[in-house]
Structure 1
Amino acid sequence: MISLRDVDLNLLVVFQAVLTHRSISQAARELGLSQPAVSNGLARLRQTFDDELFTRTGAGMQPTPFAEALAEPVSVALAGISRAINHREAFDPASSQREFTLAMTDVGEVYFMPTLVDLCTRLAPGVHLRTVRTTLPDLKDAMASGRIDLAVGAFDDLTGPFFQRRLFRQQYVSLFRVGHALDTPHAGLAEFQAARHLFVATGDNPYARVNQLLAQAGFGADANVWVPHFIAVPYVVSVNDLVVTVPQKFAERAAAPFGLRFVKPPLRLPALQTNVFWHRRYHQDGGNQWLRQLISEHFAES
C-alpha cells in the first residue's frame, strides 16, 4: 500500500497536466517548467506507483489503465485543495448576522459608538455590536481567540502579533460649565490652579499620567472630586463649579448637550494617540476587514 508520505503532491499536478494535454511540452508550458523537469517528475511518479502511467504514441502520451483510474480522484482532490487554500469567507454586511466585539474605554464609547451604530443600522442592519472594557486582564488572549475583534484606543503593549492603523492624535482640554470663572479669555495658570478640579480615577495609563502631571502643577490642591468613569463627568461638571481635563474628542461630544465649554489648559500635556488594533489571525478575515475599514474611513484623520 502506498502511503501519502511517499507521494509529492506537486507531482500530481504534473500528472494532471500531462493527462490533460497528452504532451510533455504542453504540460511544461502550462506549469511554467522545463520539459526535463516535467519528464523527471513523471519518472518519479512512475517509480512511486510502479506503473508506466503514460506511453508515447503517435497520438501523444496515452494513459495506462492505472493512470485512467487515477484521473478522476486526482482531479477532484486537487480541485478541493485549490478551493481550500484560496477560500476566503465572503462577508456581506447587508445580510450578515455577525456579532462584533470592540474593546474601548467609556470615552471611546461616547465618541465612536453613536456614529458606528448609525453606520451599521444603514449598511449592516443585521450586525450586532458589543463593547467591553480595555482593562480586561486577558485582552491579548481575547483578541487572539477572536472573542474581541478590535481594540480602539491607546495601547502601547499591543505589539508583536497585533496590527494597528492610526486614527487620530488629540490633545487634552479643560472642560467646565458656561459661566464658570474660567470662561474668560484672560484666565491663566493661577486661575486654573485656584479652581476646584474633578479628576477621573481611571486605571488606563494615559489618563493616570495626565492626572499625575496635573497634580504636580498644583491643579486641584483643594477640594478634589474624583469619579471612576468619564461618563459621569458632564453630568457633574454641568451643575457645579468644577473644571476637568479630558481628551478633546470627548469634550467635543459633551459640550453642546450639557452646556459646557472647553479650552486649552495652561500647561503642556502629552497628546493622546488613538489607533485601531487587531490580531494577525484575523488580518484576512472578511468581517474584521470590513469593520476596521469602516472605522478608518469615518474616524481616521490625516
Structure 2
Amino acid sequence: MSPRQSRPTHLANLDLNLLVTLRALLRERNVTRAARNLGVTQPAVSAALSRLRRHFGDELLARVHGAYVLTPLAAQLAGQVETVCAAAERLFATGRAFDPATTEREFTLLMADYPATVLDPPLSRLFDHEAPHAALHLQLIRETLGSGAGDAIRLVDAMVSPPLGHFRTPGVASVPLFHDRWVCVASAGNPLCEAESFGIEDLARLPWVVPYHRDEGYPSAAPATRQLTALGIRPRIAVRVESYRAVPDFITGTRRVALVPERLAAPIASAHGLRTLTCPVPLDPLEEHLWWDASHDEDPAHSWLRDLMVRAAACLDA
C-alpha cells in the first residue's frame, strides 16, 4: 500500500470541484469534450486531470491506439463518482422550490432489467413531458440483492424491487407499483409445448435458464428458483444469466425452459418465436414496489419523482 493510500483523506482538504471534473472525464474519456460539457477551457480540465492523477497515483485515462481508455482504477471509480455526485446534487437541492418543468436535476433509479423494460416506456414519456431539462440515470441491478440493499437505497433516489426482507427496516419507505405473475417460456419446438398437459415432474426433469441465480447452492435468493424451491422442485440449471432479457437467447431452439414475469414474456416470446405456458402449479404473484430512504420524504423533487413512478405504473393497466 502506498503512503497516500495509508493516510486518511479528510473532506475539508479536498477540492470537491474535482469530483465534477472527474465525472465528466470518465464519461467522455476525452479532455476536449469534457471541457465543452463543463463549460470551461481545455487547459483547466487538463490541469484538473493532472491533479487527479497525482491524487490517485494513477493515469486514469490511458492512450491506446490514438484514443483514451479508462484504466482499471478509473473503471472502478466511474460508478462511484456517479453515485457521489448524484447524492451531492440531491443534498444541495433539498429544500429549494421545485419546478419539474425547469429543473436540471439528475434522478437516479436502481432496478433490474425486468421492471425497467416494463416501466421504461410510460416513465420515459412522462419524464420527457413534465421535466424536459432533467436527467434520468437508470442503474441496472446486476445480481441478486443481498443484505446491502438498504445501503444501496441510500445512495440513489429510489429502487424498484419486490418486498424483500432486508427492506423492512426503519428509515426505508415504499409504495406498491404493479403486480405480475410467473409463466413458463419454451421454444416453439419443445415437446412440452405440444403436450396436452404437464406437471411438476415435467418441470423437474427439464434443463432451466435462471436469471440472477448467484451460485449453485440452495435455497436460492433468485426470484424464479425461490418459487420452484418452495414447491419442492430443484430444477436442473443449465444456464445462469444476469438479465431477464438474456433468457430467450438460451431458450430458442433448445429443450430449456424458464420462468419469467408475464408482462415481460409477451414481448420476448413474440420476438424470439417462443411459447408462453401457464404454470401447472400456482406460484406467488410478483409485486414490484418503489423503495426510498425516508429522509427524502419532505423533498418536493423526490415527492414529484415518487408520484411520477406511481403514474407510470398505472399506465401499464390503462
Task: Tell me if TM exceeds 0.5.
Answer: yes
Amino acid of the structure 2 residue aligned with 1:140? G
Residue ranges of structure 1 left out of the alignment (5+ in a row): 1-86
Who is 1:120 aligned against? 127
Alignment of 1:124-139 (within 5 A): 124-134=131-141, 135=145, 138-139=148-149
Who is 1:148 aligned against? 156
Who is 1:186 aligned against? 196
* Cα shift at 1:201: 4.1
Residue aligned with 2:103, SS: coil
Aligned residue pairs total 211
Amino acid of the structure 1 residue aligned with 2:244? F
The TM-score normalised by the length of structure 2 is 0.58
Rg larger in 1 or in 2? Answer: 1
Of 203, 206, 210, which residue of structure 2 is paired with 1:195?
Answer: 206
For the Cα contact (< 8 Å) 1:201–1:226, is it kept in 2?
yes
Structure 1 Cα separation of the partners of residues 249 and 313 of structure 2: 26
Structure 2 Cα separation of the partners of residues 296 and 281 of structure 1: 19
Residue aligned with 1:224, SS: strand
* Cα shift at 1:205: 4.8
Of 92, 102, 108, which residue of structure 1 is paired with 2:109?
Answer: 102
Asked if residue 217 in structure 1 is aligned to residue 233 in structure 2, the reply is yes
* Cα shift at 1:241: 3.1
Who is 2:254 aligned against? 240
Alignment of 1:8-87 (within 5 A): none
Structure 2 Cα separation of the partners of residues 162 and 99 of structure 1: 21
Who is 1:264 aligned against? 278
Who is 1:53 aligned against? none
Q: Which moved more, 1:130-139 or 1:179-188?
A: 130-139
Who is 2:167 aligned against? 158
For the Cα contact (< 8 Å) 1:199–1:211, is it kept in 2?
no
* Cα shift at 1:276: 0.7
Amino acid of the structure 2 residue aligned with 1:258? H
The TM-score normalised by the length of structure 1 is 0.60
For the Cα contact (< 8 Å) 2:207–2:255, is it kept in 1?
yes
Counting aligned pairs with the same residue, the percent is: 25
Residue aligned with 2:191, SS: coil
* Cα shift at 1:185: 6.6
* Cα shift at 1:218: 5.6
Structure 1 Cα separation of the partners of residues 167 and 191 of structure 2: 42
Residue ranges of structure 2 left out of the alignment (5+ in a row): 1-93, 215-220
Of 160, 165, 169, which residue of structure 1 is paired with 2:179?
Answer: 169
Who is 1:16 aligned against? none
For the Cα contact (< 8 Å) 2:100–2:130, is it kept in 1?
yes
Structure 2 Cα separation of the partners of residues 182 and 115 of structure 1: 35
For the Cα contact (< 8 Å) 1:202–1:229, is it kept in 2?
no
Structure 2 Cα separation of the partners of residues 217 and 100 of structure 1: 41
Structure 2 Cα separation of the partners of residues 281 and 142 of structure 1: 14
Q: Which moved more, 1:199-208 or 1:169-178?
A: 199-208
Residue aligned with 1:225, SS: strand
Structure 2 Cα separation of the partners of residues 239 and 96 of structure 1: 49
For the Cα contact (< 8 Å) 1:100–1:129, is it kept in 2?
yes
Structure 2 Cα separation of the partners of residues 275 and 116 of structure 1: 15
Residue aligned with 1:188, SS: coil
